[in-house]
Structure 1
């Protein structure tokens, strides 16, 4: 109980303190990459340590800071965000729901630091956002996505949204599959019930998007998801259903194939 309360207090205070620091870093350096240093070196380690997570990372040799890359991971916990800032040592930008832009401090930081917002509720705006993001990636910016669109509540890899893979095929840069395991135990979805323990992050080898047709979003999603499922099993996780590749339109966590089977 005391750890749970401590985590809430530390999260609130550290966010309130370090957000102004990101603004100052961007102002004095005229470079938004400097905001990521504050988040990676100060904010994230404090949150992860307070939660009692012991971070174990493998595969960092697959990260190339000189190459624009799309990093894709499964999603188990709110704690994943600071963990991935620490585990992937490049100045990437998250691709996030546009609603997060309006969240005090966190949303403001994402906007100031140049993270990318996607409005998935309106098709035309979503396409325009993906086009803008693709131009940013081709210009040299790496991005990080959670294609499940939500956190898994049982540890299994959920079906993927196709939007992130449309972005990858537009940008024509490598996709690096990342698997996180254990964060959902340390800090479960929709809970502050903190249970200290190990969190594993495995960074897979880059997948060459130029070997896929420009409209083969599902094929690329399957290739990336298969790697993440395999890595989940290697790390002692629950993996996922290899056939539940693509999420139903407008629904998170449920595949089209499951809906058809139910019908």
Structure 2
């Protein structure tokens, strides 16, 4: 056997897995689960189906999926913040969190064909980060929702990049938590960047782990909550720190609009 044979076999197996996982993902997500979400009555039932569908897809794709620390989620309203490395993260968090959590998503996603309709049917929230006025109106509505007892899930980086690394956290989630007086729960996702993250266009096998941390103490400032949540996630995510040196942009005005 030539020295190149093991690498050739590995490459072939990798492409076979890509083909298999792509077919399974597309059939499970776009043909079975999403159409049902569009027609089922009731937001809770739709979210339950979404979570069940993600877990089924992971199983069929041969992806070990583990959630630890679910007991750390408070019974009352809270804000979950997590890292973000892949378009799969929203699906993974749908399966990891109870149905009472509403996800906060960039407004542009609402315009995506098919996926946007599905997310609207699941009752998720959309925030416009390109318009200060629209964003302020939407986030004030989020604040009212939290004060009324709803829980939110937010990707604190706001986006992800092709290169591995934890980006600086946006301030909005922590301003919401500080103003509403609810706990922030740091959650760490690992494995989705390898599975289908960054600039990757094909599936590569990886296990996926979600670690739900203990709630941060209520009463801290938005900046304290942000820094404490990021430190916990950075310690567990296995990716480098891409935070820029501290600057005036890192300061949080406690009287600022939650946008």
Whole-Å separation in 2 of the counterparts to 1:208 and 1:123:
30
Specify the alignment match of 2:225 in structure 1: 220
| TM-score w.r.t. length of structure 2 | 0.81
Unaligned residue ranges in structure 1 (runs of 5+): 249-254, 257-263
Deviations 1:114-160 (A, max 9, x none): 11100000001111111111111222221111111112433321111
Conserved? CA contact 1:186–1:195, under 8 Å: yes
1:77-99: per-residue Cα shift (whole Å, max 9, x none)? 22222222222234311100001
- Check if 1:169 corresponds to 2:170: no
Alignment of 1:50-129 (within 5 A): 50-64=60-74, 66-129=75-138
The match for 1:3 among 12, 17, 20 is 17
Conserved 8 A contact 2:162-2:198? yes
Give the CA deviation at 1:60.
Answer: 1.5
1:260 match? none
Q: Which residue of 1 aligns with 2:57?
A: 47
Within 5 Å, which residues of 2 pair with 1:134-213? 134-212=143-221
CA, structure 1 residues 59+207, in 2 after alignment: closer, same or farther (shift >3 Å)?
same
Contact kept? 1:68, 1:141, Cα under 8 Å:
yes
Counterpart CA distance in 1 for 2:194 and 2:33 is 27
Task: Give a deviation string over 1:24-75, Cα, whole Å, max 9, x none.
Answer: 322xxxx311110110012x123323544212222111023x3111110001
Name the stretch that deviates more: 119-128 or 44-53.
44-53
Mapped to 2, the partners of 1:79 and 1:39 lie a distance apart of: 13
Conserved in 2, the CA contact under 8 Å of 1:96 and 1:116? yes
TM-score w.r.t. structure 1 length?
Answer: 0.80
- The answer as to whether partners of 2:178 and 2:220 remain within 8 angstroms in 1 is no
Q: Match of 2:189, SS?
A: strand
Query: Which stretches in structure 2 are left out of the alignment for 5+ residues?
Result: 1-14, 252-259
Contact 1:148 1:160 in 2 (8 A): yes
Contact 1:221 1:246 in 2 (8 A): no
Structure 1 residue 33 corresponds to structure 2 residue 44: yes
Give the match's secondary structure for 2:104. Answer: strand
* C-alpha contact (below 8 Å) 1:159/1:245 kept by paired residues: no
Match of 1:12 in 2: 26
Moved over 6 A (4+): 245-248
Q: CA RMSD in A?
A: 2.5
What SS class does the counterpart of residue 64 from structure 2 fall into? strand
Is the Cα–Cα contact under 8 Å of residues 221 and 245 in structure 1 kept in the other structure?
no
